[in-house]
Structure 1
Amino acid sequence: MRVAVLGAAGQLGRDLCPRLSGTVVPLSRAHIDLEKPETIAAHLAADRPDVLVNCAAYNFVDKAEADPGPAFAANGLGVRLLAQACATAGVKLVHVSTDYVFGLDADRTTPFTEDDAPGPVSAYGLSKLVGEYATRAAHPGHLVVRTCGLYGVWGSGGKGGNFVETMLRVAGQGKPLRVVNDQRCTPSYTADVAEAVAGLVRAGASGLYHVTNSGSCTWYELAAEIFRRAGVTADLSPITSAQFAAPARRPPYSVLSNAKLAAAGVPAPRPWPEALAAYLEERARPRA
């Protein structure tokens, strides 16, 4: 099997590539740019993959609220064209989506299943939902994977790092940290998500699947656990989303159920505190 990975240099793509079976073809925006549709068919013809995993996305959530055009160009129209091209070429498309397709149900207290109706509350979330629907409509053999709160060692630099690295960096500077305590989700380690996605690809799974670590927490609870496990003393206190006043709304509850994975023979990822501990150990090791 020949598997192409778009967004291979990102934190999920970097963990996914070594876990896939067969020949893996890493692709970047220089190869396929979702905002430049003419690049898609040419590279599918040149690389001739059996499967293409799309880890690429426009994910500047707050910027998208003020200027949604780039988000919809990449996450919506670009994904639609990618799905159409893959369907025409006989390439299975695996598309990575997000928990941000939820959020409208502010009173939710039980994990969302794949059968629950989405309801995004931001332009970014809506752009990702458009990409999901476009994939499902254009490519009958699609696999859409929703995940949540990604962090991985390959995201410790680049576009602002990840939440774990940000917390440790700001605490190390002795600055106070005010973290929202009314948004509940599941922070997910890219190594664990990648292992499950690779398992779905090997199983030939199709349709919609949720892939996150298990359990849930607020961002404040995650920050507290980061500092506890890292042995860091931090000036940490909880605030509300209203106090944080981000330009884009975030889902107040976006915990995803992993129960469907069992039907595909893929083990559900471990609880998020265990995954966080593994991440902290991995980040301390030298990387090639």
Structure 2
Amino acid sequence: MQITIIGARGQLGQDLRLSLAADGHQLTCLTHQDISIENAASIEAALDQSSPNLIINTAAYNKVDQAESEPDIAFAINALGPRLLAQYCQKHKICLLHFSSDYVFGLEGLRKPAYKENDPPGPISAYGQSKLAGEYFIRAICSQHYVVRTCGLYGKAGKTGNGNFVETMLRLGKERDELSLINDQHCTPTSTHDLSAAITRLITTDQFGLYHATSQGKTTWYEFAQTIFDLAGIEVQTNPITTEQYQAAAERPRFSVLDCSKLEEVTGFSFPHWKQSLSTYLESPDLDINK
């Protein structure tokens, strides 16, 4: 299959490149310098050259707190950009795969069961609202689409710590004697390596629609960080705090665990538990946790 990846330099984009190439697909990899999804002319200029069967969009505005003060930018990239991509794909009869977020949920703060794809969304931040709007545009415009919601991504290409919670904790655990971490937001951090493997399976099915794709299990950011430190052998004092104590600009879901049974049924792919994936990531020869 001829596939164009938008956002190919990011941590998800790079793992997708490896997984899809290993599966024999022909890839065109575009970065922000090659294409601006907020601009229809840029989309046409970049995509007309590659003539893909499938476009995978990993480009997104992920500055959750900053989106509260600049929602216009968040919506331009997360909603209007996907809308333009959907229009292009529908016009040219191209499949579109787009990544969304667990942040499309949040209104049900005391919820216990994991969210399924047909559960009503309820975003509580400008970022979450922009991601949900992007979903709706794609689902309404492009008949051949996959919209994949995921959560807490971390991958080797994010080793600078930008958008990679694991790397940020590894750095802070060595720089500081004490850390305070939120312990009342329940979610499921996900390895980009595992997500890429799931996507490589999904695109061969032609079972278009909305999917949830995360590791198995659930945790809080406090427990996630403590597990990182335990596995990496880093001694640092960790203190659990509430969302209110952290005082972030944007409100986060207290519970955004996703049910991935639909994806598993369609693809036969089963995600590892988040602890297993984290251990595999930290044991990678490409990752020197002693730096």
For 2:89 and 2:268, the matched residues in 1 are separated by 25
Indicate the larger mover: 113-122 or 149-158: 149-158
Per-residue deviation, 1:153: 1.0
For 2:121 and 2:264, the matched residues in 1 are separated by 22
Per-residue deviation, 1:253: 0.2
2:34 paired with 1:27:
no
1:47-86 residue pairs with structure 2 within 5 A? 47-86=50-89
Per-residue deviation, 1:275: 0.2
Sequence identity of aligned pairs in percent? 46
Per-residue deviation, 1:280: 0.3
Per-residue deviation, 1:225: 0.5
1:96-245 residue pairs with structure 2 within 5 A? 96-157=99-160, 160-245=162-247
Q: What SS is found at the alignment partner of 1:261? A: helix
- What residue number does 1:250 align with? 252
Per-residue deviation, 1:189: 0.6
Are the counterparts in 2 of residues 196 and 266 from structure 1 also a CA contact under 8 Å?
no
Q: Structure 1, residues 215-268: CA drift from partner, whole Å, max 9, x if none?
A: 000000001110111111111110000000000001100000010013313312
Q: What SS is found at the alignment partner of 1:202? A: coil
2:280 paired with 1:278:
yes
Indicate the larger mover: 255-264 or 242-251: 255-264
Residue type matched to 2:46 in 1?
Answer: H
Per-residue deviation, 1:154: 0.6
Are the counterparts in 1 of residues 148 and 213 from structure 2 also a CA contact under 8 Å?
yes
Q: What SS is found at the alignment partner of 2:100? A: strand
Residue type matched to 2:78 in 1?
Answer: N
Per-residue deviation, 1:148: 0.3
With the length of structure 2 as denominator, give the TM-score of the two structures: 0.95
Per-residue deviation, 1:32: 1.7
Residue type matched to 1:115 in 2?
Answer: N
Structure 2 segments unaligned to the other structure (5+ residues):
none
- What residue number does 2:45 align with? 42
With the length of structure 1 as denominator, give the TM-score of the two structures: 0.96
For 1:18 and 1:284, the matched residues in 2 are separated by 15
2:9 paired with 1:9:
yes
For 1:16 and 1:194, the matched residues in 2 are separated by 5
Residue type matched to 1:90 in 2?
Answer: K
Per-residue deviation, 1:214: 0.3
Per-residue deviation, 1:36: 2.1
Q: Structure 1, residues 56-76: CA drift from partner, whole Å, max 9, x if none?
A: 101111110111111000111
Are the counterparts in 2 of residues 200 and 266 from structure 1 also a CA contact under 8 Å?
no
2:96 paired with 1:93:
yes
Q: What SS is found at the alignment partner of 1:137? A: helix
